[in-house]
Amino acid sequence: MSNTLPKDFESFSKARAQGFVKMKELKESGKNVVGVFCTYTPREIFLAADLVSVGLCSVSDETIADAEKVLPRNLCPLIKSSYGFAYTEKCPYMYFSDMIVGETTCDGKKKMYELLGELKKVHIMQLPQRQDDEQSKDMWYKEVLLLKERIEREFNVVITEKNIKEAIKLENEVRVSLKEFSELSKLVPPPITGLEQLKILFGSDYKFDVKEKIEEVKNITKKIKTDYDNGERKVNKNLKRILVTGCPIGGATEKVVSAIEESGGVVVVYENCTSMKKLELLVDEKEADPYRAIADRYLKIGCSIMTPNNRRLDLLSSLIEEYKVDGVIEMTLTACITYNVETSTIRKFLESKKVPFMTLETDYSSSDTAMLKTRAAAFIEMLG
Ligand code: BJ8
């Protein structure tokens, strides 16, 4: 029985840093790159056009001071950090992006895209803020078609029906492989910690060869499962099982997961854009119009910029059950208005289900690390 995770695991945890070199090589080989910021971006279009897409949301406070020369201080750190990396040219992914695609999600991001337009070529998709009516669905479908046309024009490519169908299939396979990996933590005790799970989920965004990524994730899942079946237990069965919800997590905000896992808890599942929000929904491969199928799938994502956002409640509800969750901790970023307002709805919903809940508001600095740990420890102690 081995006590070490496969070497692929290490490659995922370092993927963001190692991806810089990979990206340079891809550019030198003639590939074009699209930078994206949000889970609503339909990446199938880029894959079908043989472009590389990369997530640009920045996850450290390194450039926030520079960003504050242009942006207000009381803005979400994710936006300040993203703009700061573009403004200071410190992010290789931003630097290598030939074009940026954004959506009309929260107000801060929307206005940040305008400023980014002074530095890079930007395409904005008009995202409706309701999900279920025909008008919103049609509007988003047209936006998906507009993106396809813009990509074809900008990069002088034609996206054939075969290309887009293959891209849909591949992106679905990525989702299924990552979801199966995450579902390992339904086991009691889970085979890996929440921090280890997060490293794979977060790192997977910086693996640019999609087929290779699927294989690597499958291998990791198989290895962990085999070790578990052979009796390996790395996580104490008495730890409280925590679901983390809220804003995207990774990089600087890993401190929240560490605070939980140093205080008697283990994160078994993430209801956010780093994980289940982007993994649970597949594009319908049987739908006759692939662009309609793409539009329908993406518009169902339960982000707080939607009103109402009942899909988040539905997802929370099923994950709490499936992962045998003892308590829910929400991480919100400072000045993220939509998530911070929605906290009240989440609290009421979880109270009605008698699931203990706590919210932690934080930013990208390390100044609140001790406070996060104290609060996480008090919450987990309260779980008994
Ligand atoms: S689908 S969560 S990636 S919008 S944290 S920038 S909402 S003020 S990141 Fe998000 Fe897309 Fe939604 Fe996901 Fe604004 Fe809030 Fe900042 Fe945010």
For the residues 19-40, what does the mean pLDDT come to?
A: 92
First to last CA, the chain: 33
Is pLDDT of 17 > 80?
no
Q: What is the pLDDT of residue 16?
A: 76
For the residues 269-285, what does the mean pLDDT come to?
A: 97
> Is the Cα dihedral 109, 293, 144, 56 positive or negative?
positive
Above pLDDT 90, what percent of the chain? 88
Q: What is the pLDDT of residue 1?
A: 33
Is pLDDT of 22 > 90?
no
Length of the chain: 384
Say yes or no: CB of residue 339 within 6 Å of ligand 1: yes
Q: What is the pLDDT of residue 87?
A: 87
Q: What is the 3-state secondary structure (H, E, C) of 354-378?
A: CCCEEEEEECCCCCCHHHHHHHHHH
For the residues 284-290, what does the mean pLDDT come to?
A: 98
Is pLDDT of 10 > 90?
no
Q: Residue 225 Cα, ligand 1 centroid: separation in angstroms? A: 33
Say yes or no: CB of residue 106 within 6 Å of ligand 1: yes
Q: Residue 75 Cα, ligand 1 centroid: separation in angstroms? A: 12
| Distances from the Cα of 288 to the Cα of 104, 133, 140, 234, 257, angstroms | 28, 21, 17, 46, 42
Q: Which atom of ligand 1 has the smallest separation from the CA of 305? A: 12
Rounded Cα gap, residues 64 and 257, in angstroms: 22
CB 218 within 8 A of CB 173: no
Rounded Cα gap, residues 144 and 150, in angstroms: 10
The radius of gyration computed from the CA coordinates of the chain, to the nearest angstrom, equals 20
Q: Residue 3 Cα, ligand 1 centroid: separation in angstroms? A: 37
C-alpha neighbours within 13 Å on the C-beta side of residue 34: 28
Buried (b) or exposed (e) across 364-378, using 16+ Cβ within 10 A? beeebeeebbebbbe
Average confidence score pLDDT of the chain: 94
pLDDT tens digits along 174-224? 999 999 999 999 999 999 999 999 999 999 988 999 999 999 999 999 999
Strand partners, 342: none
Q: Whose CA is nearest to atom 15 of ligand 1?
A: 336
pTM of the predicted model as reported, rounded to 2 decimal places: 0.95
Q: What is the pLDDT of residue 281?
A: 97
Say yes or no: CB of residue 71 within 6 Å of ligand 1: no
Structure tokens at 164: 């887009």
pLDDT tens digits along 295-346? 999 999 999 999 999 999 999 999 999 999 999 999 999 999 999 999 999 9
Say yes or no: CB of residue 273 within 6 Å of ligand 1: yes
For the residues 24-47, what does the mean pLDDT come to?
A: 96
Say yes or no: CB of residue 315 within 6 Å of ligand 1: no
Q: Which amino acid is at 53?
A: S
Q: Which amino acid is at 187?
A: L
Q: Whose CA is nearest to atom 3 of ligand 1?
A: 38
Is pLDDT of 9 > 80?
no
Q: What is the pLDDT of residue 7?
A: 58
Q: Residue 227 Cα, ligand 1 centroid: separation in angstroms? A: 37
Q: What is the pLDDT of residue 341?
A: 98
Strand, helix or coil at 328? strand
Say yes or no: CB of residue 147 within 6 Å of ligand 1: no
Q: Which atom of ligand 1 has the smallest separation from the CA of 77? A: 16
Rounded Cα gap, residues 260 and 325, in angstroms: 14
For the residues 280-309, what does the mean pLDDT come to?
A: 98
Q: What is the pLDDT of residue 8?
A: 57
Q: What is the pLDDT of residue 2?
A: 40
Number of helices (H), then strands (E), belonging to the chain: the values are 17, 8
Say yes or no: CB of residue 305 within 6 Å of ligand 1: yes
For the residues 141-151, what does the mean pLDDT come to?
A: 98
Q: Residue 70 Cα, ligand 1 centroid: separation in angstroms? A: 20
| Distances from the Cα of 173 to the Cα of 45, 166, 217, 239, angstroms | 16, 11, 11, 32
Is pLDDT of 53 > 90?
yes
CB 21 within 8 A of CB 233: no
Say yes or no: CB of residue 303 within 6 Å of ligand 1: yes
Strand partners, 102: 124
Q: Residue 336 Cα, ligand 1 centroid: separation in angstroms? A: 8
Question: Which residue of 247, 301, 340, 342 sits with most ligand 1 atoms within 8 Å of its CB, as the best mutation to test the pocket?
Answer: 247
Task: Judge residue 264's burial from the number of C-beta atoms within 10 Å of its C-beta, 0-12 exposed, 13-18 middle, 19 or more buried.
Answer: middle
CB 266 within 8 A of CB 190: yes
Q: What is the pLDDT of residue 114?
A: 95
pLDDT tens digits along 99-114? 999 999 999 999 999 9
Closest to 260 (Cα-Cα) out of 346, 191, 195, 342: 195
Is pLDDT of 3 > 70?
no
Structure tokens at 294: 């793409």
Q: Residue 247 Cα, ligand 1 centroid: separation in angstroms? A: 6
Say yes or no: CB of residue 78 within 6 Å of ligand 1: yes
Q: What is the pLDDT of residue 364?
A: 95
